[in-house]
Structure 1
Amino acid sequence: MTDVLRHMVRRDVVVIGGSAGAHAALRKLLARLPRDLPAAVLVVTHLGPESPSTLAQTLNKDCVLPITTATDGERALPGHVYVAVPDRHLIVVAEGVLRLTAGPRENRVRPAVDTLFRSAARWYGPRVTGVVLSGTLDDGAAGLSAITQHGGVALVQDPKDARFPGMPTAALTAVPTAVTAPAAELARLVGDMAGQPVDDIGAPQDGLIWETDMIAGSCTHGAVPGRPIGLGCPECGGGMYEIRTGQAVHYACHVGHSYSPQTFIAASDDGIEAALWTAISAMQEKATMLLTLAASAESTGRQQAGRSYRDEADRVRHDAEMIHKRLLTRRPSAGQRPQ
């Protein structure tokens, strides 16, 4: 058997991404892929850093293709499914080599769908079929746009068929020309497209090269290929830049942390919440100190000073209670509201 990712220009790379609700969709899709599929299949779903790497074993029960957990440095083969591991981005580089990297988190997760999709778009352009499945927020939208911008094909689970339609809806907004279908029917589309001859469209865009190099760990300096937006990275505080790919937009800092619009909002909300809890803690400590000073003043006959300290403590506690109440009754952020 020859390696799938040679320089013959055929559609022979399938990348699939999803999050909440995606495992059920994956089972339907993978179970219906043909045994002789002439393409490698790479899968990323959102996994917590402490999650066990059992997805491949679970999916193997229903699929005629071999499904394994991806290994750093192995070469992707046709008719084989490779699944990302927790806390490592899965990317594909030259000659079909798979890399597992602890590069900067994207969309607040590692592995991220956009990361895999961009790497495939960079190295294999029109040979790529990208598939977005069920999930919340919008990871995968910018990556799917990169795939189509470089000549690849976009497939999206019908939002009505998805348990969580956020990711499919965002993908369709970014790539309105994407083909939609229920998860069970996506397998036929993938099979029909695999092995088709395609035209090579040339070199990847500079922005795509910079971002994929940052994730792979081969780029530590150089200008971010985007427009500065005057905001700080929620993770490291570095300056953020707006990067556009077709109709999709995302934001990256100079060390490589990257955010879709909805995940940037979610990260900002987390930062605000943390700051408010810190403020409540500081106010409670201040009120405690004021009461200590009040008791000390009163014990030495300085009643007026004691009352002043107690009045200020009451004001501080009132303000802390107002912030606490606001935290407990806050609305979900835009990215977390029902679709």
Structure 2
Amino acid sequence: MPQRDLIVVGASAGGVEALRTLVGSLPAELPAAVLVVLHVPAQGASALAAVLARETALDVAPAVDGEVLAPGTVRVAPPDRHLLVVDDEGVLRTHLSRGPRENGHRPAADPLFRSAAHVAGARVVGVVLSGSLDDGAAGLRRVRGRGGLAVVQDPADAAYSGMPEAALHIAGADHVAPVGELGDLLGSLVGLDVPAVPGAGDGGPRPLEDALAEMEGAALACADRPGAPTGISCPDCGGPLYGSAVGPMHRFRCRVGHAWSADTLVGAQTSAVESALWAALRSLEEKADLADRMSESAVSRGHLLTADRFTEHAGDARQAALVLRDLLEGAALSVPRAGGDEGPSTGD
């Protein structure tokens, strides 16, 4: 009978301290592999593995492609790569993918959770820690649906409660506890016999969203659409988004695989609107400056009517620019956004 031997962890804002506490409290003889995703910038290197290694006697290192999962190891997703789990003739291995961003992130928690659930079923424990918005909630629901366990940091204990609260709402949880108690809890959950889940690790077809995350050519060329048309465009690529429901959660995915929850989509659209407004403001101010120069040139040539017309254009542009400044300074654009932990521990 298989044993519960895989822990997958997702975190975002406030996640570095939560991960330090969690990893530091795991048993030294942990009979499970641990895979960690923290939202980090795509550019540059991440120091997270080195930070976590100082907290534990476990083997902590950045994940590499194709490594066999082994008990007592902690592997951390590198920047700009999804960390996935694949089945290689009955052996679980890591896989690093530059698949489409999900919830605006790569790495993201949802692809890790989904892939682990698909190939390992009840052997998986999914853990959601501090973070904003809701990455990890849909993936944790998949973990539970395949017989695995869901563990969530108590939202009241989290520096950012968004991800834990979303996980509880969308997926529910088998255990909820402060992060300081999670190490001992996870130690008690792993190493136990679990029933085999039919289909897990059998080499069968992957769900479309999993295949897209792995950049499988057949999935990218597939004529199937990941849901019903919404009439909304993808903030990442501009393609049409298709909507579907994951329990009470609305999910959106474009044909090439960029995925969004409703909350992260609103945040991305807000960023796009703000960027467009700043671009329009710059154009208006440049237009006003150019009109002033044209007016001065007309005056120097004695073309006073032309000068008045350019002066009027400059005034109209500056008035429009004032309206845009008011919009940019207003609260209407203050929508929470998904974010990584920006502390010095996450990268160089």
Same fold? TM cut 0.5: yes
Number of the residue aligned with 2:317? 316
Number of the residue aligned with 2:212? 214
Does residue 135 of the first structure (1) align with residue 131 of the second (2)?
yes
Deviates more, 1:56-65 or 1:104-113: 56-65
Distance 2:334 2:140 in 1: 24
Q: Measure how far apart 1:253 and its partner are.
A: 0.8
Number of the residue aligned with 1:100? 96
Deviates more, 1:264-273 or 1:293-302: 293-302
Give the letter aligned to residue 125 of structure 2.
T
Q: Measure how far apart 1:250 and its partner are.
A: 2.0
Give the letter aligned to residue 67 of structure 2.
E
What is the DSSP-based 3-state SS (H/G/I as helix, E as strand, rest coil) of the residue aligned with 2:83?
Answer: strand
Deviates more, 1:37-46 or 1:59-68: 59-68
Q: Measure how far apart 1:197 and its partner are.
A: 2.5
Number of the residue aligned with 2:162? 166
Does residue 281 of the first structure (1) align with residue 279 of the second (2)?
no
1:193 alignment partner, one of 183, 189, 192: 189
Distance 2:114 2:26 in 1: 24
Number of the residue aligned with 2:343? none
Distance 2:255 2:37 in 1: 25
CA contact (8 A) 1:145 1:247 kept: no
2:20 alignment partner, one of 21, 27, 31: 27
1:152 alignment partner, one of 133, 138, 148: 148
Q: Measure how far apart 1:51 and its partner are.
A: 4.2
CA contact (8 A) 1:146 1:245 kept: no
Q: Measure how far apart 1:9 and its partner are.
A: 2.9
What is the DSSP-based 3-state SS (H/G/I as helix, E as strand, rest coil) of the residue aligned with 1:213?
Answer: helix
CA contact (8 A) 2:132 2:162 kept: yes
Identity level (%): 41
Q: 1:87 to 1:131 in 2, by over 3 A?
A: same
User: Residues 269-319 of structure 1: CA distance to partner in whole angstroms, max 9, x if unpaired?
Assistant: 111011111111222232233334433444444423322221222011111
Q: Measure how far apart 1:117 and its partner are.
A: 0.9
Give the letter aligned to residue 112 of structure 2.
L
Distance 1:208 1:239 in 2: 23
Give the letter aligned to residue 116 of structure 1.
L
Deviates more, 1:290-299 or 1:43-52: 290-299
Where does 1:77-92 land on structure 2 (aligned, <5 Å)? 77-92=70-85
Number of the residue aligned with 1:110? 106
Q: Measure how far apart 1:30 and its partner are.
A: 1.7
Q: Measure how far apart 1:173 and its partner are.
A: 1.2
Q: Measure how far apart 1:158 and its partner are.
A: 0.3
CA contact (8 A) 2:231 2:240 kept: yes
Number of the residue aligned with 2:305? 304
What is the DSSP-based 3-state SS (H/G/I as helix, E as strand, rest coil) of the residue aligned with 2:155?
Answer: coil
Distance 2:315 2:123 in 1: 67
What is the DSSP-based 3-state SS (H/G/I as helix, E as strand, rest coil) of the residue aligned with 1:85?
Answer: coil
Number of the residue aligned with 2:171? 175
Distance 1:224 1:203 in 2: 24
Give the letter aligned to residue 150 of structure 2.
A
RMSD: 2.2
What is the DSSP-based 3-state SS (H/G/I as helix, E as strand, rest coil) of the residue aligned with 1:124?
Answer: helix
Q: 1:179 to 1:239 in 2, by over 3 A?
A: same
Distance 1:53 1:144 in 2: 25
Q: Measure how far apart 1:106 and its partner are.
A: 1.4
User: Residues 205-264 of structure 1: CA distance to partner in whole angstroms, max 9, x if unpaired?
Assistant: x99621121121113221233122110000100111123333333211111111122221
TM (norm. structure 1) is 0.90
Number of the residue aligned with 1:5? none
Distance 1:51 1:137 in 2: 24
Q: Measure how far apart 1:52 and its partner are.
A: 2.9
Distance 1:154 1:168 in 2: 11
TM (norm. structure 2) is 0.88
Q: Measure how far apart 1:46 and its partner are.
A: 1.1
CA contact (8 A) 2:274 2:333 kept: no
Distance 2:61 2:326 in 1: 48
Distance 1:165 1:237 in 2: 31
Give the letter aligned to residue 310 of structure 1.
T
Distance 1:177 1:185 in 2: 15
Name structure 2 gaps, 5 residues minimum. Answer: 339-348
What is the DSSP-based 3-state SS (H/G/I as helix, E as strand, rest coil) of the residue aligned with 2:220?
Answer: coil
Where does 1:244-259 land on structure 2 (aligned, <5 Å)? 244-259=245-260
Give the letter aligned to residue 152 of structure 1.
G
- In the alignment of these two chains, the number of paired residues is 329
